[in-house]
Amino acid sequence: MEKTESTPIPHPIRHLSSQDGTSWVGLVDGVYAIAMTLIAINLPELLTSLLALPRNDIVNQLITRLVIYEFIAYIATFLVLYDLWSIHRVILKMGGLKCQAQNILNGLALSLSCLGAGNIIVSLKEKSASATEAIRKNISVDALFSTWVNSHASLSFVTFIIAAAMFFTMSFMARSSTNESSPSELRILSKDLWRKGCFFFLSLIIWVPMLFGQKILMPPAPLVITYLVLSYNQHHIANFFQRNRTHA
């Protein structure tokens, strides 16, 4: 009886523009949409818990600060996730998923986005609980707001680790993607993602004092705002430096 040798079926590269790309679009869009929606759903609950506290002038002043802080935190988180979502789609559209390693990196990036959203939700809940307890103890407004910003610093630390891991993962995805039509674009994207990952990784230095039982060097919010300004204006910044080099 003759044995027939089966030829291995090549693993097809999956692009978002291919026939089976619709499922990938839905998966990527769905995961990031769920991550952002979960945070948005929890915001009214946190605001309600603050507004339910006994009211006076000091409490009203504090609640106003906390509400503004929570909205800024949500907007910043939304913009970071939006940046990651758009980059994720670009990598899949340009390079696709050709090998098993790319599938693993793709799944890791999606899982990290959900993990990051969950960590932010826990952080906001814990901060609101700490603020509620401090308000009941009649602590001064400045002390209360300082407690809100600096409390549960370990959760903010984890958030920055997750952000760095996501950008590094995306960088490896772009680097391992093969597309003969746009190899230079993928290499540039990989380097840009690597720089973003390094930004969040190097920002972890502000948590070093925690190892010695001290407060963190500064709140993480200014670092996130700095990242957003640089990320969403990188083309203008690059053009500015290019013009200066040309005139020099």
For residue 153, pLDDT over 60 is answered with yes
What per-residue confidence (pLDDT) applies to 219? 79
Instruction: Tell me if 134 is assigned to some domain.
Output: yes
Q: Which residue has the higher pLDDT, 126 or 165?
A: 165
CA gap 91, 15 in Å, rounded: 9
3 state DSSP class of 14: strand
209 or 31: which carries more pLDDT confidence? 209
CA torsion sign for 7, 8, 9, 15 is negative
Domain span including residue 124: 21-240
- Kindly state the helix (H) or strand (E) to which residue 10 belongs, with its residue range: none
* pLDDT at residue 165, as a whole number: 92
The answer to whether 53 and 135 are in contact (CB under 8 A) is yes
Domain-located, residue 1: no
Given a cut of 90, whether residue 67 has pLDDT beyond it is no
Q: Are 109 and 169 in contact (CB under 8 A)?
A: yes
Q: Does 8 map to a domain?
A: no
* % of the chain residues with pLDDT over 90: 6
Please give the pLDDT value at position 241.
60
pLDDT at 6: 44
Token digits of residue 77: 């988180």
Residue 229 lies in a domain: yes
Structure tokens at 191: 């380097």
Is residue 126 domain-resident? Answer: yes
Mean pLDDT across the chain: 74
Distance CA 144, CA 2 (A): 81
Let me know if residue 246 belongs to a domain.
no
Q: Answer whether residue 148 shows pLDDT above 50.
A: yes
Tell whether 3 is covered by a domain.
no
**Helices (DSSP H) in the chain: which residue ranges?**
21-51, 57-95, 100-136, 141-150, 153-176, 183-202, 221-232, 234-247
- Closest residue by Cα to residue 34 from 127, 108, 110, 95: 110
241 HSE (CA, 13 A, CB side): 5
- Can you tell me the distance from the alpha carbon of 49 to that of 52, in angstroms, rounded to the nearest whole number? 5
pLDDT digits (tens, 9 = 90+) for 27-53: 667 777 777 777 777 777 777 777 776
Residue 135 lies in a domain: yes
pLDDT band with cut points at 50, 70 and 90 for residue 70: confident
Contacts of 83 (CB under 8 A, 6+ apart): 231, 232
Q: How many distinct structural domains can be found in the chain?
A: 1
